[in-house]
Amino acid sequence: MPEIVALVAFAWSSLLLLGGGLLLLRSRDTLHRILALDVLVAFVICLLTTLSYLNDVSYYVDAALVLAILSFTATLVAARYVIRGRPF
Amino acid sequence: MDIVVDVIGAAVLFLGLSLATIGLYGLLRKPDVFHQLHASGLVTGPAVILVLLASLSTGSTAIVTSSILVIAFVLVTSSLSLHAIAQAALHRVTHRDEDDDGGDPD
């Protein structure tokens, strides 16, 4: 992959992350915040992947996998907390 | 042949980032959680998968295997987490009047 493509994609992902932060700041409700955090983790996965393309190393994608696992459990537990008033 | 792979990889990468931008715009515009779930499904599903799929044009085996692992994980978990959020939102809508009198007895 050419370096300019990876650089433009990295800058674009950073702007997306900025927009996700704006979404988190604008959220009024617990569910809006859970949804905004889920979307923010998707943006961070995009950012780490483009960073891995830029530097041509693979371990950023592994970090993205760990982040996806943590985000999945956090979203499930937070949604259950909204329903039952306790996590489990 | 090399330039064709590069162009296709860049096209897939920028298509994924465009889908993420469209989903973010929808999330910022729509007022309700149920409407926002629709836009959020575009970001956490196809956008992330397309960005990860562009790794096939890098030619590095380590990046491609890690990306395929993340794609398989995201395919399973993005729909599950969105379903959990939708269930919580539906529960909040249908049980709004019951929550006022001190929670459930179990």
| Tens digit of pLDDT at every position of chain B (106 positions) | 788 988 999 999 999 999 999 999 999 998 888 999 999 999 998 999 999 999 988 888 899 999 999 999 999 999 999 999 999 999 888 887 665 544 444 4
| Three-state DSSP state, B1 | coil
Report the complex ipTM.
0.88
Q: Give the Cβ contact number of residue A38 at 10 Å.
A: 24
Query: Which residue in A20, A68, A75 is closest to B84 by CB distance?
Result: A75
Q: At the topology level of CATH, where does B2-96 sit? A: Helix Hairpins (1.10.287)
Domain A3-84 -> CATH class = mainly alpha
Q: Chain A contacts of B81, Cβ < 8 Å?
A: 38, 71-72, 75-76, 79
Domain ranges of chain B: 2-96
Q: If we measure between CA atoms, which residue out of B54, B21, B24 comes closest to residue A52?
A: B54
pTM of the model: 0.90
